[in-house]
Chains A and B, each alone.
Chain A
Amino acid sequence: QKEVEQNSGPLSVPEGAIASLNCTYSDRGSQSFFWYRQYSGKSPELIMFIYSNGDKEDGRFTAQLNKASQYVSLLIRDSQPSDSATYLCAVLTGGGNKLTFGTGTQLKVEL
């Protein structure tokens, strides 16, 4: 079982719709969770982090964490073509010393 799992996609949504990206993790002791956006050929850019159960909102982005079910999700409201990218889920593992990434979900926002 991979430490951090994501559906590779692509996930296609129409412009203006809500995009929902999901991630599961295996280390029950994980404390912090991160979402990075990566455009093709570019480096990852941090969007949000979350470490408490529940929702955390930042503009059009909402991160959701459920530690009991070991999943974290990212919702993007009013999706724009500029949101088209790969979204990487990362989990702080190894006692809080190591960031482990999933393989990423490719999001395509269509006009």
Chain B
Amino acid sequence: EAEVAQSPRYKITEKSQAVAFWCDPISGHATLYWYRQILGQGPELLVQFQDESVVDDSQLPKDRFSAERLKGVDSTLKIQPAELGDSAMYLCASSLIFGTPSYEQYFGPGTRLTVT
């Protein structure tokens, strides 16, 4: 069964350092999402790509976060510099299409980030 791949699964970094996460969506899925999930809360959308274009990055803290999907396939999310409040699970998801009633997102295993 096709799955969304993410790496690393766990990351511990010191504040002010740079950190990067990678995501490979399900083959053929044009839409890719990065979410942040703080413990006890639901996932919050950071950025959404349709192919290589950003559709929504309104909740992305652009002073420290960046995301790219250069060839419209895999994607990288970067944080520089990391802050203590960035400790969370970073989830990548993909979907075949969006904006239709049968829209379904499939999540990867996530990256657990701890900033010390």
Contacts and interface: CB of A to CB of B under 8 A. Distances in A.
Given A102-B42, A103-B41, A103-B42, A44 B101 contact: no
A90 B42 CA distance: 9
Interface residues of B, number: 26
Interface of A: 4, 8, 31-32, 34, 41-46, 49, 51, 88, 90, 92, 94-104
B104 A49 contact: yes
Nearest to A32: B101
B91 interface: yes
Given A42-B109, A44-B107, A45-B107, A98 B40 contact: no
Contacts, number: 61
Q: Is the interface of A mostly helix, strand, loop or mixed?
A: loop
Nearest to B55: A97
B44 A101 contact: yes
Contacts of A51: 101-102
